[in-house]
Structure 1
Amino acid sequence: MKDKMTWEETIKFIRTLPEFKGLVEKAYFEEDLPLNVERFKKSEEFTETLQLLKQYQPDAKFLLDIGSGNGISAIALALEGYNVVTIEPDSSDTVGAGAIRKLKEHYNLSNLEIHEAFAEELQLPNNNFDIVYARQCLHHAYDLNKFVAEASRVTKKRGLFITIRDHVIFNEKDKEWFLATHPLQKFYGGENAFTPTEYKNAMVNARLQIIKELKYYDSVINYFPAPKQGIENQLKNRKEKVIEKLRKKIGIFSTITLVQKIVFKVVGVSKESVYDESKIPGRMYSYLCFKK
């Protein structure tokens, strides 16, 4: 095996290793391309993403999907009725534009257009899309500011730029930890991450108004494939333990009284107090922006 593989070689290789079976399935890297699409369409991540698209851009028709990889997002969005243009620099049939073309034919889609290009070099008209969507690709930008500037340029005024599941680091030591623990970095060496400040500065510089920053535990979009119900149940259990502790301390109350509720509200139990995202290497964030 040579020192570093291509991304396509990496995915083909890990498919042969039993220890990567779960990752291949959860990351939609299986050889059966339509199966990946069908599973992605039913995922909690995609369901919640669609809710955000409908909430913030309910009348959208034209959508740009940047960095589509093997096509799961581009196909799923086209099947939802959007007129989709997809940008993917990799030409391969495994994890690139070739795979998207196969899926386009499989689903007989007329509302999907495929371009092979880098996000920093879009050959597309200004103010052209209601939504520009980028899933798990902004952290791979070779020029973060140019990537976001190009995305902004092709977004219509008051259109939506949405980035999904981008790796976040807080400092260089945190980045080193993330890269050292990423399961595929040793094979292809292409992982990367930026700080929240770097992401947000690039957006502001591109005349984008940030309307929502979803941190790791703010949305199933980011912590998927961990189930939403599982995270919410842990939070609920933690709240119940705090309430019970307060009830015992107050003593004379056998039920949750107004006094306890007031005390509980002051003490507070948030996701941040239950979960520590600093323990997650390369935790993922998502951002929603309007173009000014």
Structure 2
Amino acid sequence: MSKIGPEHVSGYGMTRVRRILRRPLYYWGLRVFLVICLCVSSWLLITVPSWTTIYEQQMQLVENYLADRHELRLRKVLIHGRRDMSMATLLEVMKVEEDAPLFRVQTEAIEARLQQHPVIKYAHVQFLPPDTLEVVVEERMPIGVWSHQGAWRVFSRDGTILGDMSYKYEPLPRFAGDGAADQAHELIDHLIVYPELMKRLEVAIRVGKRRWTLRLSPGVDIYLPEKNLGNALTELSLLQQRDGVLDRDVVVIDARLSDRWYLRLDDGVRVQLLPGGNA
């Protein structure tokens, strides 16, 4: 029977060491290489940002040199279709400066930046040799001001929010309620037919995403129906022309039903109106 003793263990350990030492050179080389790669990777993670900055600076120097030597600079920017946006704002959105090296003028990227701006509905950019950039834009035009999230926002016909309220938008009609900006164009199209109602409009309130309540001066609320909006406004216009209903002691005109309307007076009295304005 074999016995395991200290001498045997010591011999086994020495044998294992000799076996490891006899392994091929590439075995050790691979491990040294991996350690070096780890060290280099750590160094690059720390120093690459600075090298990137240096590279970009050198490239700019080269571009400026070539642009000056061969007259490859942007000398003119032509913009067509601008209405509400200032030239300075457009150039800022485009990220383009006159006299910039032509190497950095990328028409597709400029188009993409313009079309991301809420005011720009359409944009086309092209380079006109030798040194001109031509830009064609179509702006979304503001049609109203919407009370949203505690602030007044200017919006376009398709409901796009164009920006915050400013003094130049004071003449625009005002709207409130969930979804009001998306549906306001339909109401405006009806109201412009009746200027006597349009000029009295203080705010149009969207109710339940279904219908409108108009608040007209001097403080009369008009409950409009979900459907046949034009008919209701026509009837209201006739009532005003004939009886001056908006200038009387009326606080609410409920026009939600097509066959009968209800008027609530400021003393709480409720009066029913039949089609044609007969009480």
Instruction: Verify same fold: TM over 0.5.
Output: no
Higher fraction of helix: 1
* Structure with more relative contact order (C-alpha pairs < 8 Å, separation 6 or more): 1
TM-score of the superposed pair, with normalisation by structure 1:
0.19
Higher fraction of strand: 2
**Rg comparison, structure with higher value:** 2
TM-score of the superposed pair, with normalisation by structure 2:
0.19
